[in-house]
Amino acid sequence: MPMTNKFSLRQFKRKYGTHDMCLEAIKQLRFPDPYTCPKCNSEQKFYPVKGRTSYACNSCGHHIYPLAGTIFEKSTTPLDLWFFAMYLMVQTRSGISAKQLERMLGVTYKTAWRMFKQIRMLMAETGGGLLDGIVEIDETFVGGKGKNRAYEWKQEVEEKEKQILMGFIQREGKAYIKHIPNTGKYTLLRQVKENVSPTARVMTDEFMSYHGLTQMGYFHQSVKHKAREYARGDVHTQSIESFWGGLKRGIYGVYRVVSKKYLQAYADEYAWRYNYRLHQGGMFELLLNQVAEVKALKAEKLV
């Protein structure tokens, strides 16, 4: 069930206001009491070790390290600042820049940028399954010169290259956003096959690259934007187009410029907030849970 209760800043500070409170929260996520000690093989309570980020077994003194293998492992930044950065990312609709985080936390810009980079790893979609039902599909261009942000921009022709995002939205459901190299037929159809169930009802615009969907077994319907047809009953792509509007306002208004290398990470951030939009006050806890779920992050040392 969606969580509709709001999670105010006052509530956040009461629950996660200090480094020790945040460390305890991570410990309970990864090693909840009582926890079976790997050394003495008995269920024990583990107590925090003063001045360290470890906990010791009540029986044999064996240490466990809740931050090991997480985005916090090599960071020298206090956990309450990390948690506040995560709180800001889920509470804002259009995101927050690293420059703004630098000012708010009193850290260097380099540290703020790396913190956001690591947090976005938790927002990456992994193993979400194929979208089904009514699925809207569209692609958009991001970046380039301001004067080339209209439809006349041509791939590999204009001086300033744009990047391409392909979006899938299941109505009343989830969104997947993929950074793709081109808008060729085989690229788009392969992405559809990898992300959309064959039983889905697929809706696109009239772009020719989608014409092969019927031959692939999909029930495909489209609207003709060039003929000023934007909806025909329930046949439209307004959900994904609305998503593009929010994403672009955020990128151009908040982040200003996003490099090709990290565009997928930024797309994951916007898709994550969209996918958990109905949870409102529970969004922070959902993101925090990812710290325990995502085991193999390669955390960078933060200054």
One CATH from 3.40.50.10240, 3.40.50.1860, 3.30.420.10, 1.10.3720.10 for 134-278: 3.30.420.10
- Predicted model pTM: 0.86
* pLDDT tens digit at each of 303 positions of the chain: 455 578 999 999 999 999 999 999 999 999 998 999 999 999 999 999 999 999 999 999 999 999 999 999 989 999 999 999 999 999 888 889 999 999 999 999 999 999 999 999 999 977 679 999 999 999 999 986 655 444 454 555 555 678 999 999 999 999 999 999 999 999 999 999 999 999 999 999 999 999 999 999 999 999 999 999 999 999 999 999 999 999 998 888 888 778 889 999 999 999 999 999 888 789 999 999 999 887 544 444 433
What's the CA gap between 261 and 202, in Å, rounded? 30
Domain definitions of the chain by residue range = 9-125+279-293, 134-278
Angle at 108 between CA 106 and CA 114, to 5 degrees: 115
